[in-house]
Amino acid sequence: MVDADQTFVIVGGGLAGAKAAETLRTEGFTGRVILICDERDHPYERPPLSKGYLLGKDTRESVFVHEPAWYAQNDVELHLGQTVDAIDRVAKTVRFGDDGTLAHYDKLLIATGAEPRRLDVPGTHLAGVHHLRRLAHAERLKGVLAALGRDNGHLVIAGGGWIGLEVAAAAREYGAEVTVVEPEPTPLHGVLGPELGALFADLHREHGVRFHFGARLTEIVGQDGMVLAARTDDGEEHPAHDVLAAIGAAPRTALAEAAGLELADRAHGGGVAVDSSLRTSDPDVYAAGDVASFPHGLFDTRLRVEHWANALNGGPAAARSMLGRAAAYDRVPYFFSDQYDLGMEYSGWAPPGTYDEVVIRGDAGKREFIAFWVKEGRVLAGMNVNVWDVTEPIQKLIASRTAVDTEALADPHVPLESLSA
Ligand SMILES: Cc1cc2nc3c(=O)[nH]c(=O)nc-3n(C[C@H](O)[C@H](O)[C@H](O)COP(=O)(O)OP(=O)(O)OC[C@H]3O[C@@H](n4cnc5c(N)ncnc54)[C@H](O)[C@@H]3O)c2cc1C
C-alpha cells in the first residue's frame, strides 16, 4: 500500500518520464514525486523536431508535454539541467547535480531514453556535422537547412532511417540539395524490408533526393573547419556543406549498468531488461520508454521500442506498476511518420527475416494503401499509407494471432474488422 510518506524518483524527463509523473498523480499517489532531467528544457515531445518544428510550422510552445506551471501545480519536484550520475540500490538513493545532491527513493523509474549513435570517421569534429535528438539540435538544424536552401547548398545524410528521411524531406522543402548514404539496398530496410523500402526511395527521388545505397561514410573532408565533402567506402565523394549523422540511437544504459541492473542482450536491441510489468532485476526499480527492453508476448521476443507511443504508454504503465497495480505491458508497437504529402502509421513488428510475404490492400502506385507483413497467414505488422482510421482493426488483427485468408486481406471490399473475428 502506497502512503504519503513515500518518494518516487524518475530519472529522465522525456515523454516516458513526464507521463509517468502525470500518471502517479492521476492515480492518486500523494507522496513525493521527483523528476530529474539533464536537459534544461521542460519535458517535450521529439517527433516535431524532424517534422513541423524543423519546418518552422510548429511553435516551440507546442512541443512541450505539459505547460511549465503544471509541475508545481501537481507537486512534481522538477530538477532540470541536472544529471543523475549514480544509483545506490542498497541505500536507495540517486545522486544528481554538480553538488552531488542525494535523493532517497522508495521506487525509482529509469526513463533515460536513447542518444544518437556517433559516426566513427575522420572529420566529425567539423562545424557542419550534426545530430538530431534535442530541441537545441533542431533549432540549429533549422537554421542550417534554411541557409542551405538559400545558397543551393548540399546536405549529406548518413543513414536512411526515419530521422534521415524526415530530415531529407524537410531539407528539400527548404530547397537544399540532399544525398542520403545508406549501407542497405533501400531506406528503412531494417524496419520495412526491401518491398516497402523501395516505395520510400521512389517518393524521395521524385522530390529530388539522391541516394547512394550499399555504401558507408568513411570520411568527412573539411577545410578551415568547414565541411567540403563526404567520402564513402566505395571511393565516391559527395559535395557537402553539412552532414547529418542519422545512424540510429543507443539506449542510455550507463547509469543502470553501473548500478548492477540486468541489461538485455544486444541481439535484442540492448537496453535495461524489465519484466512484462516494466520492473527491472531490482523490484524497486522500473524502466520505460526507449531505454527499456521488455518481453512482448505477441512476438515471443524481447523488444526495445524507440517510438513515441511506447514512451506515451510505457511511462504510465510503469507508474501503475510502481503503485502496485501492475498489468502486463503488451501493447502492439506503433509509430507514425510524415514525409512530403505522405503520412503513414505502422503497427506491429516484422523486420526482414520474420515474415514470408507482404500483402498490399489498395493502390501502392497512388500511395494510398495498407501493407501487411504476414507469416504463415498471421499478420505480424500493418502499415497504412495515406489511409486513416484503420489502426484499431489492424492492431486487432495482429493481436488476434489468427491465420487470415490473404486474398481477403488484400481485398479493400472485405472489412478488416471481419478478418480478426
Ligand atoms: C528527431 C526525432 C523524431 C522522432 N519522430 C518520431 C515519430 O515520428 N514517431 C515516433 O513514433 N517516434 C519518433 N521519435 C522517437 C520518440 O521521440 C522517442 O521514442 C521518445 O522520445 C522516447 O521517449 P523517452 O522518454 O523514452 O526518452 P527521451 O525522449 O530520450 O527522454 C529521456 C530524457 O532523459 C534524459 N537523461 C538521460 N540520462 C539522464 C541522466 N543520467 N540524468 C538525467 N537525465 C537523463 C535525456 O537527456 C532525455 O531528456 C523521434 C525521435 C527523434 C529524436
Task: List the one residue out of 246, 107, 104, 232 whose CA is nearest residue 165.
Answer: 246
Does residue 112's CB lie within 6 angstroms of at least one atom of ligand 1? yes
pLDDT the model gives residue 327: 87
Q: From first to last of the 421 residues of the chain, give the pLDDT tens digit.
A: 457 899 999 999 999 999 999 999 999 999 999 999 999 999 999 999 999 999 999 999 999 999 999 999 999 999 999 999 999 999 999 999 999 999 999 999 999 999 999 999 999 999 999 999 999 999 999 999 999 999 999 999 999 999 999 999 999 999 999 999 999 999 999 999 999 999 999 999 999 999 999 999 999 999 999 999 999 999 999 999 999 999 999 999 999 999 999 999 998 899 999 999 999 999 999 999 999 999 998 998 999 999 999 999 999 999 999 999 988 999 999 999 999 999 999 999 999 999 999 999 999 999 999 999 999 999 999 999 999 999 999 999 999 998 999 999 999 999 999 998 7
Last residue in a domain, options 242, 263, 288: 242
Protein residue whose Cα sits closest to atom 3 of ligand 1:
47
The terminus-to-terminus CA distance of the chain in angstroms comes to 40
Protein residue whose Cα sits closest to atom 27 of ligand 1:
113
Are 173 and 269 found together in one domain? no
Does residue 49's CB lie within 6 angstroms of at least one atom of ligand 1? yes
Distance CA 368, CA 93 (A): 52
Are 49 and 87 found together in one domain? yes
Give the count of domains, the chain. Answer: 3
Report CA-CA distances (Å) from 184 to 83, 130, 132, 136, 161: 36, 22, 21, 30, 10
Q: Is the pTM of this model over 0.95?
A: yes
pLDDT the model gives residue 326: 84
Query: From the alpha carbon of 132, which atom of ligand 1 is closest?
Result: 1
pLDDT the model gives residue 4: 87
Q: Contact 247/159 with Cβ under 8 angstroms?
A: yes
* d(CA 46, ligand 1 centre) in Å: 6
State the CATH number of the domain containing residue 385. 3.30.390.30
Does residue 12's CB lie within 6 angstroms of at least one atom of ligand 1? yes
| 331 lies in some domain | no
Does residue 344's CB lie within 6 angstroms of at least one atom of ligand 1? no
Distance CA 51, CA 343 (A): 11
For 151-203, the DSSP string reads HT-EEEEE--SHHHHHHHHHHHHHT-EEEEEESSSSTTHHHHHHHHHHHHHHH
* d(CA 17, ligand 1 centre) in Å: 10
Please, is 153 exposed, middle or buried when counting C-beta atoms within 10 Å of its C-beta (0-12, 13-18, 19+)?
buried
Does residue 345's CB lie within 6 angstroms of at least one atom of ligand 1? no
pLDDT one-digit tens code per residue, 183-240: 999 999 999 999 999 999 999 999 999 999 999 999 999 999 999 999 999 999 999 9
Does residue 163's CB lie within 6 angstroms of at least one atom of ligand 1? yes
Protein residue whose Cα sits closest to atom 31 of ligand 1:
14
Distance CA 129, CA 141 (A): 10
Q: Contact 137/131 with Cβ under 8 angstroms?
A: yes
| 332 lies in some domain | no
Half-sphere exposure of 152 (CA within 13 A, CB side): 0
Buried b (16+ CB within 10 A) or exposed e, 30-46: eebbbbbbbbebbbbbb
Distance CA 398, CA 371 (A): 13
* d(CA 290, ligand 1 centre) in Å: 7
Does residue 335's CB lie within 6 angstroms of at least one atom of ligand 1? yes
Are 197 and 152 found together in one domain? yes
For a substitution probing ligand 1, which of 50, 112, 135, 305 has the most ligand atoms within 8 Å of its CB?
112
Does residue 306's CB lie within 6 angstroms of at least one atom of ligand 1? yes
pLDDT the model gives residue 398: 97
Does residue 117's CB lie within 6 angstroms of at least one atom of ligand 1? no
Does residue 46's CB lie within 6 angstroms of at least one atom of ligand 1? yes
pLDDT the model gives residue 203: 97
Are 13 and 70 found together in one domain? yes
Are 47 and 101 found together in one domain? yes
Distance CA 46, CA 63 (A): 8
* d(CA 163, ligand 1 centre) in Å: 13
The secondary element (H helix, E strand) that includes residue 407 is helix 406-410
Does residue 14's CB lie within 6 angstroms of at least one atom of ligand 1? yes
| 72 lies in some domain | yes
Are 386 and 409 found together in one domain? yes
Find the domain containing 254 and state its range. Answer: 7-115+250-322
Q: Contact 367/385 with Cβ under 8 angstroms?
A: yes
Query: From the alpha carbon of 46, which atom of ligand 1 is closest?
Result: 17
For a substitution probing ligand 1, which of 37, 78, 272 has the most ligand atoms within 8 Å of its CB?
37
Sequence-separated (6 or more) residues with CB below 8 Å from residue 372: 358, 359, 360, 361, 379, 381, 382, 394, 397, 409
State the CATH number of the domain containing residue 42. 3.50.50.60
| 31 lies in some domain | yes
pLDDT the model gives residue 420: 85
- Among all chains, which residue has been given the C-alpha cell 499517489? 29
Distance CA 103, CA 182 (A): 45
Are 236 and 255 found together in one domain? no
Query: From the alpha carbon of 290, which atom of ligand 1 is closest?
Result: 26
Are 48 and 145 found together in one domain? no
Cell for 296? 512482448
| 21 lies in some domain | yes
pLDDT the model gives residue 268: 82
Last residue in a domain, options 186, 210, 242: 242
Q: Contact 229/238 with Cβ under 8 angstroms?
A: yes
Query: From the alpha carbon of 18, which atom of ligand 1 is closest?
Result: 25
